[in-house]
Chain A
Amino acid sequence: MEARQLNVGEAIPFEPTRRRTAYWPWLAALAAAAIIPFGIYPSFVMELMCFALFACAFNLLLGFGGLLSFGHACFFGSAAYLSGLALRDWGWTPELGILFGTAGATVLGLLVGMVAIRRQGIYFAMVTLALAQIVYFACLQLPFTGGEDGLQGIPRGHLLGLVDLSATVAFGDRQLPLALYYFVLAVSFGGYWLIWRTVNSPFGTVLKAIRENEARALSLGYRVDRYKLAAFVLSAGLSGLAGATKALVVGLASLSDVSWHMSGEVVLMTLLGGMGTLLGPVVGAVTVGVLHNELASLGSWVTVTIGCVFVVCVMAFRRGMVGELAHWLKRTL
């Protein structure tokens, strides 16, 4: 994330963008993801995919826009609650429920974004944190959310009214929820693809320019505030998509989904994997998820460990795992 300072009159280095896109990494990743449930516990993998999408959506804002939101859990969690409401109480089909949650998070993102982008840096972080807290209290007190218990028993339903998402397929002596798994895989890959397209679009380039030097971008005539707001809304919407999908997978929307600890967790995922890299948040989300899973029996030592990882990341390797690797390979990942 080193800022490049160009001097006045110096020629801007022209780097021709590659027009042809390599599709094989996508296909390889999809193929790998498609066979994973036969080896690893699918529910855990599905949860990881949701968190990976959440971290990627967050990274769109932090890594490419340079905006540290400390309240992103409010989009993740509120979408989980909204889709839970639509699925359980209104009996909507899963795809409509998820869309409803995502739309809700997008609208919320617009409202929060409009207030928050008026400040920069640390102020921005604190404003998003405080606004997210309003959402937290709303989720605690609104009549449909179940208060401390959360919104429980969210049904999986039938996709498009046809495919039963709670159906399982026998594989050896295990029952695999393959329908749900491939649906979640499609959703998270779709979201990830959208982020990848955004980052590599002219919009993404302007966003990076704003991150590097906001005053310069402004003087070039870009309406910086609009770009920031658009990035914020997009990131909020995709975080909502992740949260709604997670609610479908776990069957539960809980207060921990909207709490500021969750906001901190997604920052850690991004930081640990490498902010500003495309792959980093995925690696970070998987690492944090596995860490939680492995240490679950240790009680509060999980929190201590996560805190230590945080401190080590900030002190020793700010590029994150993928960032360090990319730096070492001298290419972007």
Chain B
Amino acid sequence: MDISLQAILSQAMLGLNNGAFYALLSLGLAVIFGMLNVVNFAHGAFYMLGAFVALLGYDFLGKWLGDEGVRLSFWAALLVSPLLVGLLGVLIERLMLRRLYQVDHLYGLLLTFGLALILEGLFSNYFNVAGEPYNGKPAVLEGAVNLGFMFFPKYRLFSIVLSLAVCFAVWFLIERTRLGSYLRAGTENPDVTRAFGIDVPLLRTLTYFLGVALAGLAGVVAAPIYSVSPKMGSDLIIIVFAVVVIGGMGSIMGAILTGLALGLLEGVVKVFYPPLANTVIFIVMALVLLWRPAGLFGKEA
């Protein structure tokens, strides 16, 4: 086998890029699971929604407003899209999820599965399943930078850095701030937390907003790289589930590190034996579960 170091390194960089998305998505999933005990099956659909807000804002907003010149720029989409997706999440949490906290956690999974089907089905009616390109990539991020061993697209580098920065910010928010300590207290012991005068239902809504907004953000960042399609979420969600299981469900740091590492692994495997690349994450998951059922960073339940 003749594989150059350069090929490995460049695939590794692409893998790292995928890994950044896995980290961002599994972080949102872990936040929601850790705080609400809900497996958010609709996470992939919210990711898709985030990408579509960016796409529609760029291509169609002008037409809707009757002024062709109006466009939602990429930078604006980075803020608007997570906000809109997050607000939809708030609506869902208030109207539906809230009523399911008392019953078996499995119902939360089933509800969000239904929601994922609805969202995916709605978008499949109006948009090409094969996907549409997003044309709003900012001019500043065009071109590539020389990393020494390869020319790496500027935008991909930007998406890696941005994802890592957001991941760190969320970790800091939850593990190091007062709001974060309220959130953690609310999960550990809702009754006592409430007795201290903290509005636990509001915290839960906020948590769901945060987790879902992270998915929306990942969608916007992914839009210029991958084609925006109704199926983009459902393809990814199972991988992200595996990442969360490997990292240890509910573990913030576990989700981030595992996401990055697995993206990297996937990229490297693609160089050596391409057919295995899709499956390698699930194989790692099976092995990790045999060895440590709680996941790499999880606490034994």
* CB-contact partner of A130 in B37, B278, B282, under 8 A: B282
Residue among B110, B117, B242, B290 with most chain A CB within 10 A: B117
Give B113's nearest chain A residue, CB to CB: A264
Give B111's nearest chain A residue, CB to CB: A314
User: Does residue B39 face the partner (Cβ distance < 8 Å to A)?
Assistant: yes
Q: Are B245 and A126 in contact (CB under 8 A)?
A: yes
> Separation in Å of the B25 CB from the closest CB of chain A?
14
- Once bound together, how far apart are the Cα atoms of A296 and B285, in whole Å? 37
**Contact mask for chain B residues 248-267; partner A; CB cutoff 8 A; 1 contact, 0 none:** 01000000000000000000
Q: Are B121 and A115 in contact (CB under 8 A)?
A: no
User: Does residue B174 face the partner (Cβ distance < 8 Å to A)?
Assistant: no
* CB-contact partner of A302 in B111, B121, B290, under 8 A: B121
Q: Are B121 and A307 in contact (CB under 8 A)?
A: yes
Stretch from A117-125, A163-171, A193-201 forming part of the interface with B: A117-125
Chain A residues numbered 106-143 whose CB sits less than 8 Å from any CB in chain B = 115, 118-123, 125-127, 129-131, 133-134, 137-138, 140-141
Q: Are B242 and A130 in contact (CB under 8 A)?
A: yes
Known contacts A115-B290, A303-B120, A311-B96: A121-B114 contact under CB 8 Å: no
Which residues on the A side are within 8 Å of B125 (C-beta)?
299-301, 304
Chain A residues numbered 263-284 whose CB sits less than 8 Å from any CB in chain B = 264, 267, 271
Give B241's nearest chain A residue, CB to CB: A126
> Separation in Å of the A313 CB from the closest CB of chain B?
8
> Separation in Å of the A326 CB from the closest CB of chain B?
19
Give B279's nearest chain A residue, CB to CB: A137
Known contacts A115-B289, A127-B289, A310-B117: A133-B110 contact under CB 8 Å: no
Which residues on the A side are within 8 Å of B279 (C-beta)?
133-134, 137-138
> Separation in Å of the A143 CB from the closest CB of chain B?
11
Chain A residues numbered 287-327 whose CB sits less than 8 Å from any CB in chain B = 299-311, 313-315, 318
User: Does residue B171 face the partner (Cβ distance < 8 Å to A)?
Assistant: no
> Separation in Å of the B298 CB from the closest CB of chain A?
9
Which residues on the B side are within 8 Å of A206 (C-beta)?
none
Stretch from B100-108, B194-202, B220-228 forming part of the interface with A: B100-108
**Contact mask for chain A residues 233-271; partner B; CB cutoff 8 A; 1 contact, 0 none:** 000000000000000000000000000100010010001
User: Does residue A154 face the partner (Cβ distance < 8 Å to B)?
Assistant: no
* CB-contact partner of A123 in B96, B119, B249, B278, under 8 A: B249
User: Does residue A46 face the partner (Cβ distance < 8 Å to B)?
Assistant: no
Which residues on the B side are within 8 Å of A125 (C-beta)?
39, 106, 109
Q: Are B121 and A318 in contact (CB under 8 A)?
A: no
Which residues on the A side are within 8 Å of B286 (C-beta)?
115, 130-131, 134
User: Does residue B136 face the partner (Cβ distance < 8 Å to A)?
Assistant: no
- Once bound together, how far apart are the Cα atoms of A303 and B231, in whole Å? 12
User: Does residue A68 face the partner (Cβ distance < 8 Å to B)?
Assistant: yes
User: Does residue B283 face the partner (Cβ distance < 8 Å to A)?
Assistant: yes
Give B106's nearest chain A residue, CB to CB: A68
User: Does residue B78 face the partner (Cβ distance < 8 Å to A)?
Assistant: no
Which residues on the A side are within 8 Å of B100 (C-beta)?
314-315
Which residues on the B side are within 8 Å of A115 (C-beta)?
286, 289-290
**Contact mask for chain B residues 75-109; partner A; CB cutoff 8 A; 1 contact, 0 none:** 00000000000000000000010011001111101
**Contact mask for chain B residues 104-146; partner A; CB cutoff 8 A; 1 contact, 0 none:** 1111011101111111111011000000000000000000000
Interface residue tally of chain A, by bracket? 35 or more
* CB-contact partner of B241 in A68, A129, A137, under 8 A: A129
Which residues on the B side are within 8 Å of A309 (C-beta)?
114
User: Does residue B62 face the partner (Cβ distance < 8 Å to A)?
Assistant: no
* CB-contact partner of A300 in B33, B104, B115, B121, under 8 A: B121
Q: Are B245 and A127 in contact (CB under 8 A)?
A: yes
- Once bound together, how far apart are the Cα atoms of A129 and B245, in whole Å? 11
Give A312's nearest chain B residue, CB to CB: B114
Known contacts A299-B125, A310-B117: A315-B99 contact under CB 8 Å: yes
Q: Are A133 and B116 in contact (CB under 8 A)?
A: no
Residue among A121, A131, A311, A314 with most chain B CB within 10 A: A314
**Contact mask for chain B residues 214-243; partner A; CB cutoff 8 A; 1 contact, 0 none:** 000000000000000000000000100110
Which residues on the B side are within 8 Å of A121 (C-beta)?
104-106
> Separation in Å of the B279 CB from the closest CB of chain A?
5
- Once bound together, how far apart are the Cα atoms of A118 and B289, in whole Å? 8
* CB-contact partner of B110 in A134, A140, A304, A314, under 8 A: A314
Which residues on the B side are within 8 Å of A300 (C-beta)?
121-122, 124-125
- Once bound together, how far apart are the Cα atoms of A323 and B277, in whole Å? 44
User: Does residue B183 face the partner (Cβ distance < 8 Å to A)?
Assistant: no
* CB-contact partner of B238 in A122, A140, A260, under 8 A: A260
User: Does residue B180 face the partner (Cβ distance < 8 Å to A)?
Assistant: no
* CB-contact partner of B283 in A134, A141, A267, under 8 A: A134
- Once bound together, how far apart are the Cα atoms of A188 and B241, in whole Å? 34
User: Does residue B148 face the partner (Cβ distance < 8 Å to A)?
Assistant: no
Which residues on the A side are within 8 Å of B278 (C-beta)?
137, 140
Which residues on the A side are within 8 Å of B66 (C-beta)?
none
Q: Are B107 and A318 in contact (CB under 8 A)?
A: yes
Which residues on the A side are within 8 Å of B106 (C-beta)?
68, 121-122, 125
Q: List 8 A-B contacts (CB under 8 A).
A: A68-B106, A115-B286, A115-B290, A120-B301, A131-B282, A264-B117, A304-B125, A307-B118
A contacts, CB < 8 Å to B: 68, 70, 115, 118-123, 125-127, 129-131, 133-134, 137-138, 140-141, 260, 264, 267, 271, 299-311, 313-315, 318
Shortest 6 CB-CB contacts between residues of A and residues of B: A310-B114, A303-B121, A307-B117, A307-B118, A304-B121, A300-B124
Extra pairs beyond A127-B245, A131-B286, A134-B286 (19, CB < 8 Å): A118-B289, A119-B293, A121-B104, A126-B241, A133-B279, A137-B282, A267-B110, A300-B121, A300-B122, A301-B121, A303-B117, A304-B122, A307-B118, A311-B118, A313-B110, A314-B110, A314-B114, A315-B111, A318-B107
